[in-house]
Chains A and B, each alone.
Chain A
Amino acid sequence: MTLLAEGLTKSFPGVRALSGATLSVRPGSVHALLGENGAGKSTLVKILTGVYRPDAGRILLDGAPMRFGSPLEALRAGIGVVHQERNLVPEFTVAENIALQHLPRRFGLVDRARMRAEARRCLDLLDLDLDPDTRVGDLSVAQAQLVEIAKALSVDTRVLLLDEPTASLTGDEADRLYRIVARLTATGHAVVLVSHKLEEVFAVADTVTVLRDGHSVAEAQPLADYTRDQIVDLMVGRAHAAVELGARTVDRGAVPALALTGVSTGHGHRDLDLTVAKGEIVGLYGLVGAGRTELARALLGLDTITAGEVAVHGTPARITSVGQALGEHRIGYVPEDRKGEGLFLEQPIARNVGVTVWRRLSRAGLLPDRAERDLVARYTDLLGIRLASPRQLAGQLSGGNQQKVSLAKWLAADCDILIVDEPTVGIDVRTKAAFHELLAGLAAQGRAILLISSDLPEIVTLADRIAVMADRRIRGTLPNTRAYDEMAQRVIRLVHAPLPQEVR
């Protein structure tokens, strides 16, 4: 079955995720879909699988126009997907998971025999020797991954989309998976592979589409025509309108505000070295899942640090709770998920800003209304947060203003080390630029900022140095020249460099 998606366009409030992207996939081919963070890969995958509806453009299957109202409709049309994150029910058996989308029924009850037979058939397609009655929770990560593929094939799937399928697999397991992919294409399936591991892409894919800024810069080209470097060039060579921010002077001779030496964490980070000086913005770049947020959480005491040393202003620190990070070390964390983790949506703005300082403001356990109001006014003014009234609920603000409120509470708490996680995701361009100026201004006032971002232009605009993280290790730290093309090339090469200790 030939899949053709033409001129797909999709906008979210403030962001145009796709603008006229095209993807054409032939049966029997492994088609690599490549692009940097934010290039539109996930949006494209989600449109093809019926999660999103495109604003414009069309999808043709064997020439017939399709319109998917739901993931189930896409699946019935023959497009299966294995998402990057697991979508299995751990308490169910392998057979139950595979057949979940269309449980065979008899007299209104689940026909377990047919369900098992159906699962067996899908597992056989993959030549997988798994007992259909095993609980999925008892499987290894790799086995669960293969069960997901079996599940994607359980309907008469002709096009299979794999989104970063080897992200959590070892080399051997990945090889096994790709042998299965080869078998599927041999039987006429079309496979679309989204992966950031270029070695794998070159090993298994035959054609390639590269997305950049929401449109295709290479459309269904034979992969053999390209070298690795040419592909990287295609991925990053985006036109870049940089906001020029005044240069900051960073005193590198002084004791760094935050210094990590040989830090390992309970989440799998190994041997990290990283310093952030006063007045410096260090960008921590990496792909989604590289372990950057997890590192931030470990620094805040939400995860354990198993080895190495964290020093705050030169003094070794053992941080075990957010309260301690805030109270003793003045470290603040602006989380990525502002709605879920940054704000109390049902509470007035004033409460959101004041939450970190109530204890300090209180007199004999009572909070003076006046002191809180003054404090809130100071920081809402400073950050340019426009309020209808301080009693307005945080949930009623726009995304950009919500992010500012989420930041304001740490400024109110007088933090001098700020960890800012993906601050401008889902924020419109103009607010984004204003936010960048704000962060640069905060650094200029002497705060140390660790900026976690998957947005390369953002990092190149803001950071003094760029640390690149992949697979829970820091692959290198680069001084930022602020020349976008050059920095982008160097950063992307670090991200895609094979791990030295990973010998195949």
Chain B
Amino acid sequence: MTAAETLTAQPVAAPRRGWRRTVRGSEFTLVTIALIGFVALTVATDGNMLTAGTLAAFFRFLAVPMVIGLAQMTVLAIGQMNLSVGVLTGFCAMVSAWLMLAAGWPAVLAVPGALLLGALVGLVNGILVVRTRINAFIVTLATMTIVDGLRYGVNGPRTYQDYSPGLQRLGQASVLGIPVVFIVAVLVAVAVWLFFARTVAGRHLLASGGSPFAARLSGVSNDRSILVAHTVSGLLAGVAAVLTLAQSGSVNATIGDDLLLPSFAAPIIGGVALAGGVVSVLGTSVAAFIVRLVDVTQAQFGINRRWVDLIVGAVVLGAVLVGAVRQRLSRRSS
């Protein structure tokens, strides 16, 4: 097994024709692009990337985009979208900070509180989709707006800081030079991979996403898959909230505003099918890495922030087109 395969929940088939090999290698391609980009950036910055501080910061700020990408991927797996992941991350962070500062909870309780809140809002998203049969895009667009309001309601425009010295120390800590928050993100990715590859619920989710008709006729409850997908997605937003609390010393009502596009960028560039049924944890994680590279390049060379959005947007569009072409090719062969 190659490294590329071990983290893929959806291994692609044995290669039979030339182009299939390319499809199989889509994660390999991503890893290659990531490495080349990293080396290029290192060279362009005269090795500045490799200094301990820069490298640690690079990975520390990779943790949240990675987890938020996985949160979106979980809902994409059933062929739906979750527009509320970004603001939900902010809301969970604000509530958790409020619990620690205003309610006096210790971090040991406030952290699970954030996770629980995320899962709960996700569950509500799922229940609304199942009960109303309204498109998840519309439902989560609505809950996004509601959660946005709630996020602001926690503390108005004011900032929370010094909520938990312990948590913040952990956010800055490193093990063997690797930031703890990044290690947590990797562990979360492994858990998500395990969920899709090895649990009944995860498999059912992919079945519902791949073909709801076939899933139903195989005794899989599509409604339950929808509930599970949105709940897990919310839970992961909660994880992203905790990582945010740990790595940045302060939080306010704008947390999560800049997460919506990255949440789609990572899985889409990573080769996750928008139609559902196919996920790739490795692809999503590596794509988050690539987006992070673009961010760092912007910071290093003082490029206008707008250019970064333009590039990421263009790459997402390109990845969607590639996905569409790939799908058409596989249709033709079957």
Contact = CB atoms under 8 A, between A and B. Distances in A.
B13 interface: yes
10 contacts: A335-B217, A346-B277, A347-B10, A347-B210, A351-B206, A356-B218, A365-B199, A388-B14, A395-B330, A396-B13
Nearest to A350: B11
B14 A344 contact: no
B206 to A, nearest CB: 7
A353 B334 CA distance: 18
Contact of B201 (A326, A343, A365, A393): A365
A392 B13 contact: yes
Given A343-B211, A393-B13, 17 more contacts: A302-B216, A321-B221, A322-B219, A323-B219, A342-B214, A343-B214, A344-B277, A345-B210, A346-B210, A346-B330, A347-B207, A347-B210, A356-B218, A356-B219, A366-B194, A366-B199, A391-B11
Contacts of A391: 11-14
The range of chain A's interface size is: 35 or more
A104 interface: no
A341 B213 contact: yes
Interface in B210-251: 210-211, 213-221
**Residue in A321, A351, A356, A358 whose Cβ sees the most chain B Cβ within 10 Å:** A358
B333 interface: yes
The 9 closest A-B pairs by CB, nearest first: A395-B334, A323-B219, A389-B14, A344-B210, A392-B13, A393-B13, A341-B213, A326-B219, A358-B200
Contacts, number: 102
Contact of A346 (B16, B200, B273): B273
B217 A333 contact: yes
Given A327-B219, A345-B211, A358 B203 contact: yes
A358 B221 CA distance: 13
A356 B334 CA distance: 24
Contacts of A351: 203, 206-207
A269 interface: no
Interface string B195-211: 00011110110110011
Given A345-B334, A346-B278, A388 B13 contact: yes
The range of chain B's interface size is: 20 to 34
A369 interface: yes
A323 B221 contact: yes
Interface in A17-53: none
A396 B333 contact: yes
Contacts of B11: 348, 391
**Residue in A321, A337, A339, A396 whose Cβ sees the most chain B Cβ within 10 Å:** A396
**Residue in B210, B217, B273, B277 whose Cβ sees the most chain A Cβ within 10 Å:** B217
A367 B200 contact: yes
A367 B198 contact: yes
B220 A355 contact: yes
B207 to A, nearest CB: 6
B12 A365 contact: no
Nearest to B330: A395
Given A343-B211, A346-B210, A365-B200, A392 B218 contact: no
A358 B204 contact: yes
Given A340-B211, A351-B203, A393 B220 contact: no
Contact of B16 (A325, A388, A395): A388
A395 B333 CA distance: 8
A48 B277 CA distance: 39
Nearest to B14: A389
A327 B218 CA distance: 11
B239 to A, nearest CB: 19
A396 B278 CA distance: 16
A395 B334 CA distance: 5
A238 interface: no
Contact of A389 (B13, B221, B278): B13
Nearest to B275: A346
A409 interface: yes
A359 interface: yes
A337 B278 CA distance: 21
Nearest to A341: B213
Given A366-B199, A388-B16, A389-B14, A347 B206 contact: yes
Contacts of A335: 217
**Residue in B10, B211, B216, B278 whose Cβ sees the most chain A Cβ within 10 Å:** B211
Nearest to A347: B210
A470 B334 CA distance: 34
A344 B221 CA distance: 15
Contacts of B217: 300, 322, 333, 335, 341-342
B149 to A, nearest CB: 36
Contacts of B278: 346
A346 to B, nearest CB: 5
B197 to A, nearest CB: 8
Interface in A356-370: 356, 358-359, 362, 365-367, 369
Contacts of B211: 340-341, 343-345
Contact of A396 (B16, B198, B214, B218): B16
Contacts of A355: 203, 207, 215, 218, 220
Interface in A296-312: 300, 302
B81 to A, nearest CB: 19
Nearest to A366: B198
Given A322-B219, A355-B220, A362 B199 contact: yes
Nearest to A398: B334
A162 B96 CA distance: 69
Contacts of A344: 206-207, 210-211, 214-215, 277
Contacts of B14: 388-389, 391-392
A350 to B, nearest CB: 10
A182 B220 CA distance: 52
A187 B140 CA distance: 60
A321 B222 CA distance: 12
**Residue in B213, B221, B334 whose Cβ sees the most chain A Cβ within 10 Å:** B334
Nearest to A323: B219
B221 A362 contact: no
Contacts of A395: 330, 333-334
A270 B204 CA distance: 36
B12 A393 contact: yes
A326 B218 CA distance: 8
Contact of A322 (B200, B218, B330): B218
Interface string A42-71: 000000000000000000000000000000
Contacts of B333: 395-396
Nearest to B224: A323
B199 A340 contact: no
Nearest to A394: B334
Contacts of A339: 334
Nearest to A333: B217
Given A355-B207, A355-B218, A395-B330, A348 B198 contact: no
A362 B194 CA distance: 13
A355 B222 CA distance: 13
Nearest to B327: A346
B291 to A, nearest CB: 26
A356 B216 CA distance: 11
A354 B204 CA distance: 11
Nearest to A344: B210
Contacts of B334: 339, 345, 395-396
